[in-house]
Structure 1
Amino acid sequence: MRILFLMNDEGSPPGVLLEETQAQGHRPSVLVPYKDISHDLELPGSVPTSPDGFDGLVVLGGAMSILDEADYPFVDQTRQLLRAFNVARKPVMGVCFGAQLLADAHGGGVKPLGHTEWGFLPQTWLPTAQEDILLKDSPPDLPLMQWHGDTFDLPDGAVPLSTRPDCPGQAFRIGDLNWGLQFHLELDQPTLMNWAKLHAAELKDEPAPHIAQMEKDVATYHKPQAGFARTVMRRWLAVCEEAKAAR
């Protein structure tokens, strides 16, 4: 299968999700539309206008906000592509910014959260998660990495799958082939360490304490998060295979 990854920030690569796609023998195509960069020699860097030729779509995170989409033409292009994948019965996974854009594309709303969610924070899985093909048997209170300042309202008919006290919008499903995940399950260790530096710069703090804290967090939380990410990705790829067989 061929899986399209839209990387909306070079600081937010597909990480573990890309690794698992390759490990399962599938072909990833990684595009960076906001810079018109393609890591696939057969494709331009811009957002495709059609899902033709792909079996699934992963839309990753980014530092931009949907609320500033006038500055980012690729946002509406991605919104249209998300809808086209849904019509074509091809699975979608949206991560952080990608989850917000997925909710928006299907009629939900995106808005400022009012604070920044940062760090490895526990998820509360809802009963619906136990019936979900991707998230069933997820570890309770699993700490997953977050970094975002916007949130979303779910579109009509969407199924919430997890929540948090300070940011209820977390994991959700639209129909049977579209998943949104507000948390960053995809991150590898180098990206996490880079994020610690970027977060310190955003706060105008000295980086050393942030790096030291991230080193501790990575030692404690990254292995469980990466294992969870690989399980979720394998299950999602299986959905892609089933959807392809049914078309």
Structure 2
Amino acid sequence: MEMELVSIITPCYNSEKYITETYQSIKNQSYTNWEWIIVDDYSRDNSVLVIRSFNDERIKLFVQENNQGAANARNLALSNVSGRYITFIDSDDLWLPNFLETTIHYLKNNNENLVYTSYKRVDENLKPLLKDFIAIDKVDYGRILYNCPIPMLTSVYDSSVIGIIKFPQVELREDHAMWIELLKKIKYARAIEESLAIYRIRENSVSRNKFNIALKQYNVYRKFLKMNFLNSAYYTFFWALNGLKKYGKL
């Protein structure tokens, strides 16, 4: 299989403790034609020094002079990609060695535009915490409104077909808003059921505080998608319900 360039996008903020493990998981990929675009979002620890110590010419590091958030960091990275395929990994997560090879082979062989996989869920020390998240196949625009089953960590899309999709300015829910925009351009996302990545659930993760972000999710529907109050409340209810199921609360 011809190895076309893959652009890997990572926002980094105070990740000196984890980013070496992330790098090793990328370095160990069986698919080797990649560039890793890291945007350090004004880290106050030694993240930048650690990244520079990797001394890998495939890494492009951008250092922000003030903290602008993950959406802006990813958008800066997306403005500097050179690859056909776009994928994302946060600075504390990991891929299994065959992640890139398996996903890109799937896209090419099946003439698809967006694919994602299942993943393992562990604690900060990489010990199993929850059952694997199992990817559901054929997520389309109508389905993505109910919640966001497409993880950043295991998604790969073909920018030669879709283009570069930037992250909207939607506080804490920019990933969901981005997938909504992307699924306006294609019929659906496809899934590979095999778990090919490791998602680290940190104790104080913002994404796990559902009460804190419920209003932000409501605003995805009300302000970003311009839905009326009833429809916004309807979809927010199902988003919350799916979130409880995702983390084993139902």
TM-score, normalization by structure 1: 0.33
